[in-house]
């Protein structure tokens, strides 16, 4: 079973060393193409023609891309106001120093959680569904789904903004878990995230009424197994006809390696502040990069698609719903 690893590319390197035995001395690119040859690369349906953002937009409007896989990370949540807790100096980690964590990432370590769950629940209070609103990047994916062109969205984010934007749970793989469900750490009884809301919001550690154990939201901690749902990547990525990667540094394995798991002939669009992962060290002719501000990049794509009015209407309708709902 796949486990969450915080080391740069190490998950892939470790797997390769185990599988091939003779991996030492090979370049990451060589290793990468060998590793993913079973997922469709290598047969080489690629062309040398360099694609552009307009080509991608045209392919989407002409419905040539109907099995789009989207991968996202923290960079699509920061425009909603969520601090990036992986960036030292600007993120939630710094705000959590008042809890005297031995080191920042201890907040996602299960042994530390068992000793002291308070800092994690301070983070949970901040990120619990309802505090922030999804933005154009989330609604773009919902629109893609509405048009019947979304195969699956893979997110590293734990803020639940994808669900909030109306992307159905079955179209989502929340690779690092979710606050929408929770599990008792002792008797394993399942809870709905809403059952914990009042405790989380009042700063109380939630306990299981049955056994008094601490109830932990289903967020994946370091060293914990990824959700079973994550294994959908085995069928999703070889099926994809377009990959869109947004707002991620592609640093956390095994999520990071997925960008190389689509067939070589499949276009990959990166909308991100910087070039990352295989878009730097294993670039393909079919790759398109829209670098800079993620929201700006998304707006450029939406304009090229001619989907602006439709997307605005979708976002406005949701904003009205939120304004009409009774405050808690
Ligand atoms: Zn229990």
Q: Model confidence over 131-179: pLDDT tens digits? A: 899 999 999 999 999 999 999 999 999 999 999 999 999 999 999 999 9
Alpha-carbon torsion (218, 320, 298, 91), positive or negative: negative
Strands 190-192 and 172-174: unpaired
32, 138, 145, 176: the catalytic one is 176
**Average of per-residue pLDDT across 65-88:** 87
Task: Tell me, in angstroms, the distance from the centre of ligand 1 to residue 218's CA.
Answer: 14
- Alpha-carbon Rg for the chain in angstroms: 20
**254 Cα to the center of ligand 1, angstroms:** 30
162-183 per-residue burial string, b: 16 or more CB within 10 A, e: under 16:
bbbbbbeeebbbbbbbbbbbbb
CA of 195 to the centre of ligand 1 (A): 14
Chain-centroid distance of CA 197 in Å reads 23
Q: Is 194 exposed, middle or buried (0-12, 13-18, 19+ CB in 10 A)?
A: middle
- Binding region for NAD(+): 74-78, 84-86, 156-159, 248-249, 272-274
pLDDT band at 254 (very low <50, low <70, confident <90, very high): confident
Q: Is the pLDDT of residue 101 over 60?
A: yes
Query: Which strands sit side by side in the sheet containing 215-219, from one edge to the other?
Result: 190-192, 177-184, 215-219
**CA–centroid distance, residue 250 to ligand 1 (Å):** 36
pLDDT at 14 over 50: no
- Tell me how far apart the alpha carbons of residues 253 and 243 are, in angstroms, rounded to a whole number: 18
Which residues are part of a known binding site?
74-78, 84-86, 156-159, 184, 187, 208, 211, 248-249, 272-274
229 is catalytic: no
How many angstroms separate the CA atoms of 125 and 290, rounded? 34
Q: Please state the residue numbers annotated as binding site for Zn(2+).
A: 184, 187, 208, 211
Mean pLDDT comparison of 9-13, 225-229, 252-256, 264-268, highest-scoring range: 264-268
From CA 39, how far away is CA 11, in angstroms rounded? Answer: 18
Q: What one-character-per-residue DSSP string does 90-104 give?
A: TSHHHHGGGG--SSG
Q: How far is the CA of 117 from the centre of ligand 1 (A)?
A: 16
């Amino acid at each position: 079973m796949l486990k969450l690893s915080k080391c740069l590319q190490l998950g892939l390197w470790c797997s390769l060393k185990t599988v091939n035995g003779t991996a030492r001395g090979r370049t990451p690119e060589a290793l990468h193409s060998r590793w993913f040859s079973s997922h469709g690369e290598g047969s080489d349906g690629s062309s040398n023609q360099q694609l552009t953002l307009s080509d991608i937009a045209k392919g989407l409007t002409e419905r040539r891309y109907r099995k789009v896989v989207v991968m996202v990370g923290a960079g699509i949540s920061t425009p909603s106001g969520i601090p990036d807790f992986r960036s030292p100096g600007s993120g939630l980690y710094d705000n959590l120093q008042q809890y005297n964590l031995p080191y920042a990432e201890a907040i996602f370590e299960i042994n530390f959680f068992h000793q002291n769950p308070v800092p994690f629940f301070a983070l949970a209070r901040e990120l619990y569904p309802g505090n922030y609103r999804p933005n154009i990047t989330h609604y773009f994916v919902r629109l893609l789904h509405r048009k019947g062109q979304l195969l699956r969205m893979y997110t590293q984010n734990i803020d639940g903004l994808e669900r909030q934007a109306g992307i159905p749970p079955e179209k989502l793989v929340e690779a690092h878990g979710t606050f929408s469900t929770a599990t008792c750490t002792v008797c394993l009884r399942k809870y709905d995230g809403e059952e914990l809301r009042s405790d989380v919001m009042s700063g109380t550690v939630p306990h299981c009424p049955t056994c008094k154990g601490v109830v932990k939201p289903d967020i994946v901690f370091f060293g914990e197994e990824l959700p079973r749902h994550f294994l959908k990547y085995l069928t999703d990525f070889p099926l994809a006809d377009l990959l869109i990667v947004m707002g991620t540094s592609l640093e956390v394995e095994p999520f990071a390696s997925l960008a190389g798991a689509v067939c070589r002939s499949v276009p990959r669009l990166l909308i991100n502040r910087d070039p990352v992962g295989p878009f730097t060290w294993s670039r393909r002719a079919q790759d398109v990069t829209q670098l800079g501000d993620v929201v700006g990049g998304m707006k450029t794509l939406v304009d090229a698609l001619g989907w602006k009015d439709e997307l605005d209407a979708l976002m406005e309708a949701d904003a009205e719903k939120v304004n009409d709902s009774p405050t808690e």
